């Protein structure tokens, strides 16, 4: 073996042993640092000697303990924090939109509602809208849009039809301008459950229809008709010729008139009359008439003879009418004329003789149809 070869072999062996030692030392050092924490030697040093403390560094961090368990998706923390987080999510993501409005504080000042008012009550207290006034060839109509009496004008027939909002079985026809060409006289015709309260008379020009209530014709033609549904009632007024035409011996140039004030409920129809007028029951009716002194009964039969009679100061008239049903009248008429000409379907209760014979310019009468308004 060459001398140089032994030397190289020894050097190689020594290097291997040195490397193995270094490896063993490194392994021991790793084992100590990972298995046993180092302890500070500050307590072993003299008080005059200062040395930096030696702190062990763990290879893996240890999680800090918390008071609660994991709540929700990807969130770990204390229970109080989790509950607050969910409360926030519920308020902002899942609560209905109305909750946002409810969270808005109420204004300290009431909201302004229309026309500079601050309360609805103030708005309701405003003046009602004025009625619509219509003028049409001797006719004036005051139509209140809030009235329960609805007015409909038919100028071709010269008639105003009146319906009642809450009582559909009652209506009225007002013939507001007199003309003989249509053979229908001026006046007020109630229509109760389909029954028209009017009668026919045979005249030289033909059969003419007369409403239940008509103004007096002996004073002259009616010059103007006024219809108003203001308030809770229906008011009709006919203005006619002067009183002097009724009684030439009396000097009275004022115009005669008829006023009809109508009030309707589900149980009855009431009509208050003022002025001078006629009321026409149907032929076949029986009337019980009484005054302060006595009473009498008058029956008008279709096959009876024509008649004319006068009743002084009657205060109460009860009519049993085959066409219209039973109704009653209370009146302050001083003299009532009852007349039937023997033809037609109605006869006359003539109230204008109160002026002709007694000078009474205004006769007040109330008609009540007490039969319930039902089909």
DSSP-derived secondary structure for 155-218 = TTTTEEEEEETT-TTEEEEEE-S-BTTTTB-SEEEEEETTEE-EEEEEETTEEEEEESEEE-ST
Short-list 193, 147, 198, CA closest to 170: 193
Residues 357, 280, single domain; the answer is yes
Would you place residue 281 in the very low, low, confident or very high pLDDT band (cuts 50, 70, 90)? very high
Residues 136, 122, single domain; the answer is no
Asked whether residue 29 is domain-assigned, the answer is no
- Maximum mean pLDDT: which of 1-15, 55-69, 205-219: 205-219
Burial class (CB within 10 angstroms; exposed 0-12, middle 13-18, buried 19+) of 371:
middle
Would you place residue 145 in the very low, low, confident or very high pLDDT band (cuts 50, 70, 90)? confident
CA-derived radius of gyration, the chain: 55
Tell me which of 45 and 157 has the higher pLDDT: 157
Q: Which of 75, 102, 126 is the last residue of a domain?
A: 126
Short-list 177, 196, 179, 195, CA closest to 187: 177
Residues 312, 213, single domain; the answer is yes
Distance between CA atoms of residues 148 and 164, nearest Å: 6
Asked whether residue 58 is domain-assigned, the answer is no
Residues 341, 255, single domain; the answer is yes
Residues 83, 222, single domain; the answer is no
Asked whether residue 19 is domain-assigned, the answer is no
pLDDT higher than 50, residue 298: yes
Contact (CB, 8 A) for 85 and 75: yes
Asked whether residue 344 is domain-assigned, the answer is yes
Distance between CA atoms of residues 171 and 189, nearest Å: 9
User: Considering its fold, how many domains does the chain have in total?
Assistant: 2
Asked whether residue 16 is domain-assigned, the answer is no
Structure tokens at 292: 């302060």
Residues 243, 213, single domain; the answer is yes
What does the pLDDT read at residue 122?
53
Q: What stretches of the chain show up as alpha helix (H) in DSSP?
A: 3-35, 79-89, 98-102, 120-124, 353-358
Asked whether residue 48 is domain-assigned, the answer is no
Contact (CB, 8 A) for 213 and 281: no
Q: Which of 126, 141, 170 is the last residue of a domain?
A: 126
Would you place residue 373 in the very low, low, confident or very high pLDDT band (cuts 50, 70, 90)? low
- Other Cβ atoms less than 10 A from the Cβ of 60: the count is 5
**CA angle in degrees (0–180, nearest 5) for 199-205-210:** 20
Q: Which of 105, 126, 147 is the last residue of a domain?
A: 126
What does the pLDDT read at residue 332?
95
Would you place residue 91 in the very low, low, confident or very high pLDDT band (cuts 50, 70, 90)? low
- CA torsion 193→198→199→203, rounded to 10°? -150
Would you place residue 235 in the very low, low, confident or very high pLDDT band (cuts 50, 70, 90)? very high
Q: The domain that contains 302 carries what CATH number?
A: 2.70.98
Asked whether residue 11 is domain-assigned, the answer is no
Residues 178, 240, single domain; the answer is yes
Asked whether residue 351 is domain-assigned, the answer is yes
Residues 71, 213, single domain; the answer is no
pLDDT higher than 60, residue 97: no
Q: Residue 19: helix, strand or coil by DSSP? A: helix
Structure tokens at 226: 């006024």
Residues 105, 140, single domain; the answer is no
Contacts with 15 (C-beta within 8 Å, 6 or more apart), sequence order: none
Distance between CA atoms of residues 131 and 283, nearest Å: 41
Structure tokens at 82: 């989790």
Residues 90, 229, single domain; the answer is no
Residues 185, 278, single domain; the answer is yes
The parent domain of residue 88 ranges over 67-126
pTM (two decimals): 0.65
pLDDT higher than 80, residue 38: no
Structure tokens at 277: 């007028």
Residues 85, 183, single domain; the answer is no
């Amino acid at each position: 073996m060459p001398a140089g070869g032994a030397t190289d072999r020894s050097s190689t062996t020594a290097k291997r042993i040195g490397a193995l030692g270094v490896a063993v030392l490194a392994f021991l050092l790793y084992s100590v640092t990972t298995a046993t924490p180092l302890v500070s030697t500050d307590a072993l040093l003299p008080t005059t000697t200062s040395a930096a403390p030696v702190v062990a560094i763990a290879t893996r961090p240890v999680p800090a303990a918390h008071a609660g368990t994991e709540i929700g998706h990807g969130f770990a923390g204390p229970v109080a924090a989790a509950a607050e987080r969910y409360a926030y999510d519920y308020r902002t993501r899942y609560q209905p939109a109305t909750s946002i409005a409810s969270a808005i504080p109420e204004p300290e000042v009431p909201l302004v509602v229309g026309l500079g008012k601050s309360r609805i009550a103030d708005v309701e207290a405003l003046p009602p809208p004025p009625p619509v006034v219509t003028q049409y060839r001797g006719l004036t109509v005051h139509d209140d849009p809030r009235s329960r009496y609805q007015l409909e004008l038919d100028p071709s027939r010269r008639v105003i039809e009146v319906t009642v909002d809450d009582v559909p079985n009652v209506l009225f026809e007002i013939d507001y301008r007199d003309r003989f060409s249509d053979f229908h006289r001026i006046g007020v015709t109630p229509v109760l459950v389909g029954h028209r309260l009017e009668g026919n008379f045979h005249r030289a020009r033909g059969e003419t229809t007369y409403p239940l209530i008509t103004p007096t014709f002996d004073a002259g033609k009616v010059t103007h008709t006024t219809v108003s549904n203001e308030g809770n009632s229906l008011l009709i007024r006919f203005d006619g010729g002067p009183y002097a035409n009724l009684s030439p011996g009396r000097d009275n140039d004022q115009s005669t008139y008829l006023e009809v004030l109508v009030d309707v409920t589900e149980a009855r129809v009431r009509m208050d009359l003022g002025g001078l007028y006629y009321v026409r029951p149907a032929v076949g009716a029986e009337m019980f008439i009484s005054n302060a002194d006595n009473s009498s009964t008058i029956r008008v039969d279709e096959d009876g003879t024509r008649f004319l009679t006068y009743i002084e100061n009657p205060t109460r008239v009860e009519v049993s009418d085959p066409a219209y049903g039973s109704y009653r009248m209370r009146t302050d008429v001083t003299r009532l004329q009852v007349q039937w000409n023997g033809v037609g379907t109605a006869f006359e209760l003539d109230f204008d003789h109160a002026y002709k014979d007694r000078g009474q310019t205004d006769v007040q009468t109330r008609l009540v149809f007490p039969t319930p308004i039902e089909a």
